[in-house]
């Protein structure tokens, strides 16, 4: 611990390492599957419900990991939990390639979710302390953490996986997981270093005041709407494009645009986060995600998909930033870790329903497009509820 106070690391380099951790645990761990899914579904003859189930298994693991993080933060600092989650997630992604059996795939999707939650729940708390005395830099750092980490992963996967799977055939989905997992192992060391060098305050989680949860219900409910709705687009966008006979190049273009917009989204939203301590930022983010989710069905052409990817990508990863920023502005520092973990639990419970239910609806209607429209409606409801959230005021701090 002492080396952190004697020799503080460059906060931007620490943020880079933390962002690479999010790239692995959130980007590769959760969203690469959406690009690999069409090939796995074709090669293994899965229904949409079976394909959706694997992301539901991932979300169930997320619940266990998020709850486990909340409990573990009472005894351990966030740095060790972040490092453990990152290391195991990288190994789990490689293991996914080994067997095609649904039970094996379910096991590793579950473990990827469980250990990914350890890192994701603690990354925001670690980043929030890099510029504790500078609100604007703090808001920017948190937004970069969630935006650039996941966005870079989607750009990398979008540029490489669809052309590779098209060239090598649907049976090459195993190699896709080997590539994603191998890159995760290569990136993990800088993330592990960053976790050790991130500033850690005195251990005060045990004596932190209770969260004013009753007065945060609108923010919780809005974030639940995010969990229910956003995952449908990222799970089934490639499958919808395959239904529309899109070429692998078109799929790659849309995903690269999506990831690129996620990466720059922190710059678009930093002013909003810096100005507001209410639920308005989350409401605005959810409205954008809802529009992006509906556009592929309402405007089913390449221009429509491009506009959809730009809007969705500019908003989707800003929802975690919105609730992290809400926690930082409304709660004392010793409560940030437990508050962000509780938001992650709410989000994780909600997102367990989305993929399987969306897949079942797609099987029922014969098109996954109906699921994208249903997700958009849920996100709009979440936005309306989040707009009701007021700042907690000085007494919460």
Tell me the average confidence (pLDDT) per consecutive run of 10 residues in the chain, 397 residues long. 51 92 90 91 93 92 88 86 95 95 95 92 84 79 79 90 94 96 95 88 60 92 95 92 91 94 86 89 97 96 96 92 90 84 85 90 93 97 96 62
Q: In the prediction, which pLDDT does 30 show?
A: 85
Q: In the prediction, which pLDDT does 2 show?
A: 39
CB 239, CB 41: distance < 8 Å: yes
Task: Please state, in angstroms and rounded to a whole number, the distance separating the CA atoms of residues 161 and 28.
Answer: 12
Task: Please state, in angstroms and rounded to a whole number, the distance separating the CA atoms of residues 152 and 23.
Answer: 7
Domain residue ranges in the chain: 8-200+214-396
Nearest-CA neighbor of 391 among 242, 280, 292?
A: 280
Nearest-CA neighbor of 155 among 243, 268, 38, 264?
A: 264
User: Which CATH number is 8-200+214-396 given?
Assistant: 1.20.1250.20
Secondary element (H or E) of residue 318:
helix 318-330
Q: In the prediction, which pLDDT does 183 show?
A: 94
- Residue 1 CA, distance from chain mean position: 29
3-state secondary structure of 210: coil
**Long-range Cβ pairs for the range 213-220 (8 Å, 24+):** 213/342, 215/392, 215/396, 216/389, 216/392, 218/279, 218/385, 218/386, 218/387, 218/388, 218/389, 218/390, 219/279, 219/282, 219/323, 219/326, 219/343, 219/386, 219/389, 220/342, 220/343, 220/346
CA angle 354, 312, 26 (to 5 degrees): 60
Q: In the prediction, which pLDDT does 8 show?
A: 58
What is the token pair recorded at 166? 């098209």
Q: Residue-wise over 32-65: b if at least 16 C-beta within 10 A, else e?
A: bbbbbbbbbbbbbebebbbbbbbbbbbbbbbbbb
3-state secondary structure of 26: helix
Write down the pTM of the prediction.
Answer: 0.85
CB 283, CB 387: distance < 8 Å: yes
373: how many CB neighbours lie within 10 A of its CB?
15
């Amino acid at each position: 611990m002492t080396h952190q106070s004697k020799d503080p690391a460059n906060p931007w380099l620490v943020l880079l390492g933390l962002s690479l951790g999010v790239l692995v645990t959130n980007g590769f761990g959760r969203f690469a599957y959406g690009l690999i899914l069409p090939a796995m579904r074709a090669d293994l003859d899965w229904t949409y419900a079976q394909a959706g189930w694997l992301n539901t298994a991932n979300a169930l693991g997320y619940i266990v990991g998020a709850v486990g993080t909340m409990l573990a933060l009472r005894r351990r600092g966030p740095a060790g939990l972040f490092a453990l989650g990152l290391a195991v997630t990288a190994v789990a992604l490689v293991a996914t390639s080994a067997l095609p059996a649904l039970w094996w795939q379910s096991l590793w999707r579950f473990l990827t979710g469980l250990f990914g939650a350890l890192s994701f729940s603690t990354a925001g708390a670690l980043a929030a302390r890099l510029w504790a005395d500078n609100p604007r830099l703090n808001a920017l750092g948190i937004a970069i953490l969630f935006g650039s980490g996941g966005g870079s992963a989607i750009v990398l996967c979008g540029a490489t996986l669809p052309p590779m799977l098209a060239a090598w055939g649907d049976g090459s989905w195993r190699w896709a997981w080997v590539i994603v997992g191998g890159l995760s192992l290569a990136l993990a060391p800088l993330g592990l270093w960053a976790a050790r060098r991130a500033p850690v305050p005195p251990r005060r989680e045990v004596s932190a005041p209770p969260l004013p949860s009753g007065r945060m219900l609108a923010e919780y409910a809005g974030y639940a709407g995010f969990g229910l709705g956003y995952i449908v687009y990222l799970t089934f966008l490639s499958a919808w494009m395959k239904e529309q006979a899109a070429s692998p190049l078109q799929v790659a273009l849309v995903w690269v645009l999506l990831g690129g917009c996620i990466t720059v989204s922190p710059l678009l939203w930093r002013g909003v986060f810096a100005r507001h301590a209410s639920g308005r930022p989350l409401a605005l983010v959810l409205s954008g995600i809802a529009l992006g989710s509906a556009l592929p069905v309402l405007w089913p052409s390449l221009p429509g998909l491009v506009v959809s990817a730009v809007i969705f990508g500019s908003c989707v990863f800003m929802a975690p930033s919105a609730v992290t920023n809400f926690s930082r502005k409304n709660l004392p520092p010793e409560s940030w870790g437990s508050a962000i973990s509780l938001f992650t639990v709410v989000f994780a419970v909600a997102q367990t329903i989305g993929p399987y239910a969306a897949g079942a609806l797609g099987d029922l209607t014969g098109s996954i497009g109906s699921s994208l429209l249903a997700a958009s409606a849920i996100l709009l409801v979440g936005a309306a509820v989040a707009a009701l959230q007021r700042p907690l005021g000085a007494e919460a701090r």
